């Protein structure tokens, strides 16, 4: 696909982040958003981190993009905020760091940081994809929940000497890390929607795996790598895959490209571009149980694509959990809402 001129890039008015969120990511977020007052609890906990000090650190040690500093990147941020209909254009800082990375930080006033390692690795349209990816994190409200993950990781380190306490916290951290990885898949989709250049998104993910020599790489061969990885080997390979994910907050690049490719190829991307997507006004009506079932089914479908012998044993379990889990989530959410209503609490939208 050729570069898309700004004048024909489609604005996705009032788009709900549910339009691009991975089912496992969306299920968790819908559940949290449905619990009145829960977002406020998270935001108060995130206040334990000095967001103001963090912003001042980047203000003093990085370059804030604007009309006279990295003006083209500034345009990418404005464009992404416009296309994804974000109320406020977030600040973006370019930080001197050879490690390719980008992140969205903060909950009250989120901002974006991109390292020079990533900036120098990517061409203009690939940079636009990355900026859209980070704007997607902000629109989804991921920063609020990621703060909780960071807090728990720090807490787990402090109580590591208490065996039972550490084991319990580590289980929660592992679950949050799995959600974190799925949130990255969500925002790869957001990056493509913001830039409306799917091939640029795929190129960016290939470069994260193999560096800048794109001429030496081939998208079809890279996808074949993904199929080889997903097909698995014996039970030892299955175990090694699980171990390799421990402590990882991002999926591997080959997995990200394969997931993004499937989402584009099944028509989901084009449907959103054509205007067929949920609006934010309908977020409050989203059913927690429905999203839980979709999340469980997404895992079941992934396992069915895989030849992995260990995952194969979990397929039928996932099918039953999809239905039972949905009912449980609906019951819990209803009780929370009813309790909040009697208590007179005020809810907030996690997006």
Q: How many CA atoms lie within 13 A of 29 on its CB side?
A: 29
**Residue, of 127 and 31, whose pLDDT is higher:** 127
Q: Over pLDDT 90: what percentage of the chain?
A: 44
- pLDDT for position 320: 43
Rounded to two decimals, the pTM is 0.75
Query: What is the average pLDDT value for the chain, to the nearest integer?
Result: 76
Mean pLDDT within 7-25? 88
Per the domain annotation, does 317 fall within a domain? Answer: no
Segment 266-311, tens digit of pLDDT: 999 999 999 999 999 988 776 655 555 555 555 455 545 555 554 4
Mean pLDDT within 217-241? 77
Note the residue count of the chain: 351
Per the domain annotation, does 312 fall within a domain? Answer: no
Per the domain annotation, does 172 fall within a domain? Answer: yes
- pLDDT for position 324: 42
Segment 116-174, tens digit of pLDDT: 999 999 999 999 999 999 999 999 888 766 666 666 666 555 555 555 444 555 566 66
- pLDDT for position 210: 94
Mean pLDDT within 69-94? 97
Q: Where are the beta strands (DSSP E) in the chain?
A: 63-64, 92-95, 102-105, 111-115
Segment 45-61, tens digit of pLDDT: 555 556 778 889 999 99
- pLDDT for position 31: 59
Q: Is the pLDDT of residue 25 over 90?
A: no
Range of the domain at 199: 6-286
pLDDT band at 62 (very low <50, low <70, confident <90, very high): very high
Mean pLDDT within 166-183? 66
Mean pLDDT within 5-27? 83
Residue 164: phi, psi to the nearest 5?
-65, -40
Per the domain annotation, does 336 fall within a domain? Answer: no
Q: Is the pLDDT of residue 318 over 80?
A: no
**Count of domains for the chain:** 1
Q: Which long-range contacts (C-beta less than 8 Å, at least 24 apart) are formed by 110-119?
A: 110/137, 110/138, 110/143, 111/55, 111/58, 112/77, 112/138, 113/58, 113/62, 114/73, 119/73, 119/94
CA end-to-end span of the chain: 31
Question: Mean pLDDT lowest for which of 5-14, 36-45, 160-169?
Answer: 160-169
Per the domain annotation, does 332 fall within a domain? Answer: no
- pLDDT for position 336: 44
Per the domain annotation, does 315 fall within a domain? Answer: no
Q: Is the pLDDT of residue 39 over 90?
A: no
Give, in order, the Cα–Cα distances in Å from 289 to each of 58, 106, 158, 334: 41, 29, 35, 11
In sequence order, the β-bridge partners of residue 95 are: 115
- pLDDT for position 325: 41
Joined together, the tokens standing for residue 14 give: 């009032």
Per the domain annotation, does 204 fall within a domain? Answer: yes
- pLDDT for position 101: 94
User: What is the rounded CA–CA span in Å between residue 314 and residue 307?
Assistant: 12
Per the domain annotation, does 305 fall within a domain? Answer: no
């Amino acid at each position: 696909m050729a570069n898309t001129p700004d004048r024909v890039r489609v604005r996705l008015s009032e788009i709900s982040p549910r339009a691009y969120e991975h089912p496992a990511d969306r299920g968790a977020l819908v559940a949290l958003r449905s619990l009145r007052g829960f977002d406020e609890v998270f935001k108060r906990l995130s206040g334990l981190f000095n967001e103001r000090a963090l912003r001042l650190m980047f203000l003093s040690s990085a370059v804030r993009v604007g009309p006279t500093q990295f003006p083209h990147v500034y345009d990418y941020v404005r464009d992404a905020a416009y296309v994804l209909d974000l109320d406020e254009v977030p600040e973006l800082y370019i930080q001197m760091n050879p490690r390719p990375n980008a992140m969205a930080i903060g909950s009250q006033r989120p901002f974006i940081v991109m390292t020079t390692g990533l900036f120098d690795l990517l061409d203009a349209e690939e940079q636009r994809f990355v900026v859209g990816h980070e704007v997607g994190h902000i629109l989804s409200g991921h920063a609020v929940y990621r703060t909780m993950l960071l807090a728990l990781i720090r807490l787990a380190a402090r109580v590591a000497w208490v065996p039972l306490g550490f084991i319990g916290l580590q289980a929660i951290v592992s679950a949050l890390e799995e959600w974190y990885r799925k949130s990255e898949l969500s925002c790869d989709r957001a990056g493509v929607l913001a830039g409306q250049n799917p091939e640029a998104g795929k190129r960016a993910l290939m470069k994260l795996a193999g560096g800048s020599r794109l001429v030496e790489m081939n998208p079809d061969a890279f996808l074949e790598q993904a199929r080889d990885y997903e097909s698995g080997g014996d039970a030892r390979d299955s175990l090694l895959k699980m171990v390799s994910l421990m402590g990882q907050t991002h999926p591997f690049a080959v997995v990200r490209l394969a997931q993004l490719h499937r989402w584009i190829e099944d028509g989901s991307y084009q449907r959103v571009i054509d205007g067929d997507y949920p609006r934010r006004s309908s977020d409050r009506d989203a059913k927690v149980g429905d999203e839980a079932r979709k999340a469980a089914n997404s895992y079941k479908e992934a396992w069915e694509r895989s030849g992995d012998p260990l995952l194969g044993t979990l397929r039928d379990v996932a099918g039953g959990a999809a239905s039972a889990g949905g009912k449980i989530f609906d019951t819990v959410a209803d009780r929370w809402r009813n309790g909040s209503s009697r208590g007179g609490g005020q809810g907030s939208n996690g997006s």
